[in-house]
Amino acid sequence: MKIGKNEINEKSPCFIIAELSANHNGNIETAIETIKAAKRAGADAIKLQTYTADTMTIDCDKDDFIIKGTIWEGKNLHKLYQEAYTPWEWHKKLIDTAEEEGLICFSSPFDKSAVDFLEKLNVPAYKIASFEITDIPLIEYTASKGKPVIISTGIAEKEDIELALEACKRMGNLDIALLKCTSSYPAPIEEANMLMIKDLAERYKVVSGLSDHTIGSTVPIVATSLGAKIIEKHFILDRSVGGPDSSFSMNEEEFTIMVKAVRDAESAIGDVDYSLTEKQKKGRNFSRSLYVVENIRKGELFTEKNIRSIRPGYGLHPKYYSSLLGKEAKSNLERGTALKLEDIN
């Protein structure tokens, strides 16, 4: 998978996405400053959401349309989306700002009109949000544009994931990533189930990653260690200004810490390699080896009393110890001498 200039595969660094979502609070200057802050914090990309309240739902006060069991408890769906949406007339300015900052900018479309709009802006990829994974017509239409499709699995059962993948493949699009996501806001860390990262990649032969709503950096670090190649986290300038997504969004300082932790985790993972670096080879000097621990005369036998396996590691390997016992010394050997094969008759 390639998004912009970024190759995303099993050998590549994590592709780190700062999710703008509703964290502009209806102010384009806040949105612009958030993009600049995301760059400073080390993000590779900024992601928008492209919808209006009317493309998302209808304005209706029936009980079905009142949110229950989340941080948005009691809110009318239409009113929430009216508050949270990113005006479409902002998109070009935000994309241009991201490009000026050296960030990739793409979006989550929530209906076909959003896909058409984003196509005109030539976004390099699309994200299917967790709650849209069941919208097979939307996934088909998005995948038909031939660009990478990143799909969050927050509310998905196995069948939902498979139907979404089949929809992309029907459109001839194999550039797919699946993100493990827990659709709670914020998400409890004990529900993160990070072993899914490896399973998604292995089971479906796709790039896998994380769309995270937990608090802090722990889950992204664990995800990285388990092979995540995409990390997405909500990003905000200042949580104190509030907003629908503020409580589970990272500020610049927190996001910077997370990015460093992810990069450190990547460095720590390394490769399967039993060879030693030059520095590690020097460290072997602190290992044990065979030394003369009492003066030995020429012709005297090596015994448990006059040779031992001790630090440092300049003498013979301890594997020779048993075979040396009872053999003769070829010359006088002073206490503290590192044993060599040429010292033995």
Give 85-122 pLDDT, tens digit per residue: 999 999 999 999 999 999 999 999 999 999 999 999 99
pLDDT score for 40 = 98
pLDDT score for 99 = 98
Of the options 3.90.1150.10, 3.40.190.10, 3.20.20.70, 1.10.510.10, the CATH number for the domain spanning 12-269: 3.20.20.70
Q: pLDDT 10s digit of each residue in the chain, 345 long?
A: 999 999 999 999 999 999 999 999 999 999 999 999 999 999 999 999 999 999 999 999 999 999 998 888 888 999 999 988 999 999 999 999 999 999 999 999 999 999 999 999 999 999 999 999 999 999 999 999 999 999 999 999 999 999 999 999 999 999 999 999 998 888 899 999 999 999 999 999 999 999 999 999 999 999 999 999 999 999 999 998 888 888 889 999 999 999 999 999 999 998 888 998 888 888 889 999 999 999 999 999 999 999 999 999 999 999 999 999 999 999 999 999 999 999 999
Of the options 3.40.50.970, 3.40.1190.20, 3.40.50.720, 3.90.1210.10, the CATH number for the domain spanning 278-343: 3.90.1210.10
The ranges of the chain annotated as CATH 3.20.20.70 are 12-269
What digits encode the pLDDT tens for the residues 239-292? 988 888 888 899 999 999 999 999 999 999 988 889 988 888 888 899 999 999
For the chain, the helix, strand and coil percentages under 3-state DSSP, each to the nearest 5? 40, 20, 40
The ranges of the chain annotated as CATH 3.90.1210.10 are 278-343
Helices (H), the chain: 28-40, 53-56, 77-84, 91-101, 112-120, 136-143, 158-170, 195-204, 218-225, 252-269, 278-283, 321-324
DSSP state string for 247-297: GG-B-HHHHHHHHHHHHHHHHHH-----S--HHHHHHGGGS-EEEE-S-B-
